[in-house]
Structure 1
Amino acid sequence: MEDQNLSGKEAINKLKAIVKDVNIAMMCTFGQHGHIESRPMGTAGVDDDGTIWFFTNDNSDKIKQIESEHGLCLSYSKPSDNTYASINGKALVVDDKQKEKELWNDLLKAWFPKGLDDPDMTLIKVTPHQAEYWDSNDSKMVVFFKIAKAAITGKQYSTDKDAHGNIKF
């Protein structure tokens, strides 16, 4: 299997497509004593330069962790479509009312009942450095068949050449 290596506009378009399709990321940060802590986060948006945005409460532990150690990992997973992505980047806490207004949707009221006027709301801005993705067009049944065939024939299972790749920013 040959990996795809994407960069520039092609890389950002691939990233945006995966993030839009999956939407929920496991955000992994460094907690106390260097332990990795993870939590699900809804992606608020992806800019044309690949910057990924999240809304959060400015009193959360993840904010303290990001302010202490800017590096993080985002993992996106949609097993029903065989779509996965792992994104490494730098995170910053950003208080930008204009950006909040641009990214806002009414579903966010579940976490921020006061809406855009919520004083505890802030943004996390993630600037990706590197990403890796797995995105097969095959259905679960086709993937299962290919795995079974490989097991029966003794040949190694492989995906389509475009199903795995690296994204450089």
Structure 2
Amino acid sequence: MSTKNLYSDEAKKKLKELAESIDFCMMATHLNNQPFHVVPMSTKKVDDAGNIWFLSNKTSTHNKSIETDGKTHLIYSKTSSFEFLSVYGSASIRTDKTIIKKLYGNSDDAWFDGIDDPNISAIEVKPNEVYYWDTKNGKFVSLLKMVGGAITGNEPDLGEEGKIKI
């Protein structure tokens, strides 16, 4: 893989592309203690500033952890296309109904009683450090290139990896 660090608008575009296309991540909170609290979360949006948004229950363990210490680590993995994203950032809880309305979708009815559910909140994660791995051709072609590289001894060009600086 070649290394390509991304900055500013290009970085925000790559973060948005990966986080929204992969969708589900593992959100780790309570990072100063072991074990961390880890829960799967669905990305609702990556805004123009590069902040990542989720919906959550106000009484959840991860919300309580964020209220105590906002350090959060998001791990995205889409193995079908060899796309990966690691986001370390600062999370905060938002209860503004305008924000919640913008994030809420029909699938959220499985978790909440509509946008007026008194237990709904939004989580905003502001990235501090981001690293990505993104293949150019998907899993199958990447596997073929790895096999070819093993046979020839040449390092295959599998895609890009690098830091994202917002």
TM-score (norm: length of structure 2)? 0.92
- Aligned position for 2:88: 88
- SS for the counterpart of 1:164 is strand
C-alpha contact 1:82 1:138 (8 A) present in aligned 2: no
Q: For 1:154 and 1:32, how far apart are their aligned partners in 2?
A: 43
- SS for the counterpart of 2:137 is coil
Q: For 1:54 and 1:43, how far apart are their aligned partners in 2?
A: 5
Q: For 2:2 and 2:81, how far apart are their aligned partners in 1?
A: 21
- SS for the counterpart of 1:86 is strand
1:164 and 1:106, CA in 2 relative to 1: closer, same or farther beyond 3 A?
Answer: same
Q: Where does 1:8-157 land on structure 2 (aligned, <5 Å)?
A: 8-30=8-30, 33-112=33-112, 114-157=113-156
C-alpha contact 1:82 1:137 (8 A) present in aligned 2: no
1:158 and 1:37, CA in 2 relative to 1: closer, same or farther beyond 3 A?
Answer: farther
1:61-90 superposed Cα distances (whole Å, 9 cap, x missing partner): 111111122111111111111111111100
C-alpha contact 2:81 2:139 (8 A) present in aligned 1: yes
Return the structure number with greater helix share: 1
- Aligned position for 2:162: 165
- Tell me the number of residue pairs that the alignment of Structure 1 and Structure 2 aligns: 166
C-alpha contact 1:85 1:133 (8 A) present in aligned 2: yes
How far 1:158 moved relative to its partner?
4.7
1:51 and 1:33, CA in 2 relative to 1: closer, same or farther beyond 3 A?
Answer: closer
- SS for the counterpart of 1:115 is coil
- SS for the counterpart of 1:63 is helix
Q: For 2:2 and 2:156, how far apart are their aligned partners in 1?
A: 13
Q: For 2:15 and 2:90, how far apart are their aligned partners in 1?
A: 16
How far 1:104 moved relative to its partner?
1.3
C-alpha contact 2:20 2:44 (8 A) present in aligned 1: no
C-alpha contact 1:41 1:54 (8 A) present in aligned 2: yes
Amino acid at match of 1:82: F
- SS for the counterpart of 2:18 is helix
Amino acid at match of 2:141: V
Q: Once superposed, what is the RMSD of the aligned Cα atoms?
A: 1.7
- SS for the counterpart of 2:53 is strand
- SS for the counterpart of 1:99 is helix
- SS for the counterpart of 2:49 is coil
| Structure 2 unaligned residues grouped into runs of 5+ | none
- Aligned position for 2:7: 7
| Structure 1 unaligned residues grouped into runs of 5+ | none
